[in-house]
Copies of this chain bind each other. A is one copy, B any other.
Amino acid sequence: MIYGYDPRTGEPVGAGVPETDSAGVDLVVSAAHAAGRAWRATPAEDRARALEAAADALDAHVDELWQLADQETALGETRLRGEVARTTGQLRFFAQVIRDGGYVDAIIDHADPPRPDVRRMKHPLPGVVAVFAASNFPFAFSVAGGDTASALAAGCAVVVKAHPGHPGTSERVAKLVREALPYPDLLGLVHGMQAGADLVKHPSVVAAGFTGSVAGGKAIQRLIDERETPIPFYGELGSVNPVVVLPSADAQQVATGFAASLTMGVGQFCTNPGLLFVPGGDDELRKALAEAVANTTGGPMLAERIREGYLGGLERLGQLELLAEGKAAEGAWSVTPKVFTTDLATFAAKLPAIGEECFGPASIVVTYRDVGDLPEVLERLEGSLTATVHAADPAEAEPLVDVLRRKAGRLIWNGWPTGVAVTWAMHHGGPWPATTSTTTSVGATAIDRWLEPTAYQDWPEALLPDELKDDNPLGIPRRVDGVLGR
């Protein structure tokens, strides 16, 4: 049995759920695969309505859901209500994305003899998408989170491997979504490590999405490598999210924003700012940072294992000078925010180990003398989901743009990396180990992971999908004879 635990007490909550054995995984995947056949033949408008129905069902149960999740995560009412809203907003956003129809990338080249007529669009991958839920977002990156929403929108069936940190929440969300879908088996749920392994090795599984640790991601990739037919693996693994404060930045705003971003959700965000580069001569800024951090309070982490990981990370960072720490909090699995400091040369000498992610509310303030010294050190950082610049003057940042772009998937100006908007343009990805591919797990283009193109050559109009018929019955954006239009 897998039990959820209350991070405030360290005690199990709920009745527990059984681990899914191999036969159980096969049943769930096979049912999803069968449902997927009907689903991928379902018009986009009907798929969009089903996603909206799922969103409505979750919203209607938000009071129950946040309490359930709070017992298993201790993330609190405000955050959890907000996360349900983000999750249902995301389902509705993907309804909009598939109604728009641009996601199929329809391209038509009429015949130009001797060149044949060639038309191309993307179709859902013909099978089941495996989704590994994250610990730190019991809704938005879990059973009905971004991977699931984008895969269902694409026209794929989904089987989620629940995160053991919130089994009860996972079960409840799955039930609500299944009841709202035209084919309930489109969304399957399995529990347990072995079930996850069985899932990615199942022949009907055509792709896998994962949010978790580098070690976990590598383990799943190894399982996939053992498959007879390889499948794409979309992993979001680890990110240190450097923030560069330039001399023209507002010290007080930086200090307040940093402390808030660092400690939000007890630092359990993949976009948590783990590195802050600040001008070395700026005593005011360092003082403001120390004060802001000292004013924060810790809290319980999601799981005992995550807390242990954080404490291990603190030992590694403990070789540096402690700049400030937050106040301790009540609760069995509580930890305290800690910020360390060192100069650029010392930091550079300790790379790459010192530049690895420490999951939780810890960060390093690295002092630099000259902006010109930064690119060489930034160049040596591992890939991140985000990189942030604080400055009043854009010209000051110019020497950093190229290296930051190559090191991170999202560049942020005078803001903080925590908080990822679900929009058309969002990219939540980045170079290894931030992610394992060049795709995103948040935003409209996340759907692209679950699609494959097909070209139709001289194919009869009667057999063409509506998306590629000459008169464009769905009114979707298409590129026709080289020109993008509608």
List residues of chain A with CB under 8 Å of any chain B CB. 41, 96, 100, 102, 105, 107-109, 115-116, 118-120, 123, 125-126, 225, 229-230, 232, 394-395, 397-398, 401-402, 405-406, 408-415, 421, 423-429, 431-432, 436-438, 440, 443-445, 451-460, 462-463, 477, 479, 481-482, 484, 486
Contact = CB atoms under 8 A, between A and B. Distances in A.
Contact of A460 (B41, B225, B413): B413
A171 to B, nearest CB: 32
A44 to B, nearest CB: 16
Given A230-B436, A413-B457, 10 more contacts: A107-B445, A109-B423, A109-B424, A120-B424, A225-B225, A394-B462, A395-B462, A409-B452, A425-B479, A477-B484
A448 to B, nearest CB: 9
Contacts of A225: 225
Contacts of A408: 454
Nearest to A429: B453
A410 B116 CA distance: 13
Contacts of A454: 405, 408-411, 427
28 contacts: A107-B445, A109-B423, A116-B415, A116-B421, A118-B423, A118-B425, A118-B426, A120-B424, A126-B406, A230-B432, A394-B462, A398-B463, A408-B454, A409-B453, A409-B454, A409-B455, A411-B454, A411-B456, A413-B456, A413-B457, A413-B459, A414-B458, A424-B479, A425-B455, A427-B453, A438-B451, A440-B453, A484-B484
Contacts of A445: 105, 107, 120, 453
The 8 closest A-B pairs by CB, nearest first: A427-B455, A107-B425, A394-B460, A120-B425, A410-B455, A438-B452, A126-B406, A477-B484
A64 to B, nearest CB: 27
